Amino acid sequence: MRHSIKWQVASIFIAVMAGTLLLCWFMNNTFLIKYYLNNKEKVLIDAYDQINLAATEGSITSDEFDIELQKICGIYNIDMIVVDADSKTIKSSVNDSEFLAHQLLDNVFTGNEHMAELLSQTEDYTIQMSMDRRTNINYLEMWGTLDNGNLFLIRTALEGIRDSVKIANRFLAYVGFIAVIMSGIIIFFVTNKITTPIKKLAKISEKMTALDFEAKYTGNDENG
């Protein structure tokens, strides 16, 4: 019974730590994709604001904006295209601009209702999740009209988001497992130091109960 105190205290600490890590893993697994999606929506809106500003100022075809566009698309892993009223491509971040233009016009004229899940919508743009018919890859898309009347499409692949979440959860599981093992060892030695004086006092109490009044505590602990 005396030896069980140490194990009980250590088990409680380990169980609390393991439970906390499991809760973090569950929260990541349940809500991290939604958090990424919300963040990506903000990224698309920020990209739209910059493209809209360049189109309004007439600098969208400039070399300076080309560099800025490469930065935007590279950092946020997005593709974009801007076309005029005659469906002529004004600016594109990909070589296969014809397919993006077709996707944009498909959204504009049909709403892509059979393939897309609407996330948010304003007078100027629509944000949706849709599937690329060629590759069967899901995309987060934003399309609509710029202030100068040009049409635009911005999109980013969702598979990368899902892969990032899987990697994050796997890393958390590995780190959590190692942390529980190491913490368990540390907690075991700490609780051993704490419970040793308690066990000694329990023995003294037993001796005194047996009328051995010469029993006394002889430990060197400074916790008393």
Q: What is the pLDDT of residue 113?
A: 54
Mean pLDDT across 51-60: 89
Mean pLDDT across 121-131: 89
Same domain, 152 and 169: no
Nearest Cα to 187, choosing from 18, 1, 2? 18
More confident: 113 or 13: 13
Res. 143 pLDDT band, cuts 50 70 90: very high
Strand-pair category, 79-83 with 89-92:
antiparallel
Same domain, 151 and 43: yes
Domain that holds residue 86: 32-158
What is the distance between the alpha carbons of residues 53 and 73, in angstroms, rounded to a whole number?
16
The 10s digit of each residue's pLDDT in 83-114 is 988 888 888 888 878 888 888 888 887 765 55
CATH number of domain containing 104: 3.30.450
Nearest Cα to 36, choosing from 170, 168, 161, 166? 161
Same domain, 128 and 151: yes
Nearest Cα to 143, choosing from 105, 97, 183, 184? 105
